[in-house]
Amino acid sequence: MTQENHADFPRAGFKRRIGALLYDYLVGMAVYAVAHFIGFIVIAVLANLNPTVCDDGADIQQCLITSDVYSGYLIAVVCLFFIWFWTHGGQTLGMRAWRLKVQRMDGSSITTRQAMIRLCTGFFGLGNIWLWSKESEMMSLQDRMSGSEIVVLSLEANKIKNWDQL
């Protein structure tokens, strides 16, 4: 069993990235739903303890729908989910299923800053359209902007849980 250098894997193409992206959209929706469930319970308990939590006696659901803070909380939870996975192992669940890994150009884990740039410049997957360009070098818009890349792992490398052991 040979160990492969994780800096030597080929960059991922469009189809594989989109496959992982679709899988991760489903995971992201599940994370959003769990965050909403927890948030709803917390607000319901707070509203029972203090009826002025929701303005003008509005019901809890209406209170949450109109709250910018609550919307920000839900978006932040989903973003933090992706940032954590990208910076701790380089793979989300969808990326693991499609044998993809996000990494720096030298093969090391990306930083939190790079993960945030990826989120902001990926445009919900549309940044991958850049791969169709002749100048892309198999790098999407979010890859270029964040100084990172997505590579296709071998079957053996995808089974390794701690990338620092390579």
Residue 4: how many CA atoms within 13 Å on its side-chain side?
A: 15
List the domain boundaries for the chain.
Answer: 14-159
Element (H, E) at 27: helix 14-49
**Is residue 4 a contact partner of residue 155, using CB atoms and an 8 Å limit?**
no
Half-sphere exposure of 79 (CA within 13 A, CB side): 18
What pLDDT is attached to residue 160?
78
In degrees and rounded to multiples of 5, residue 161 shows phi and psi of -90, -35
Residue 8 has what pLDDT?
A: 85
- Inter-helix orientation angle 112-121/68-87, to 10°: 120
- The whole-number pLDDT of residue 56 equals 60
Is residue 128 within 8 Å of 140, Cβ to Cβ? yes
pLDDT at res. 28: 97
117 with 141: CB under 8 angstroms?
no
Mean pLDDT by 10 residues, the chain (166 residues): 64 97 97 96 88 72 87 97 96 97 96 97 93 92 97 92 52
pTM of the model: 0.86
Dist. CA 129–CA 91, nearest whole Å: 21
Q: Where do runs of H (alpha helix) occur along 60-140? A: 60-65, 68-87, 93-97, 112-121
pLDDT value of residue 4: 53
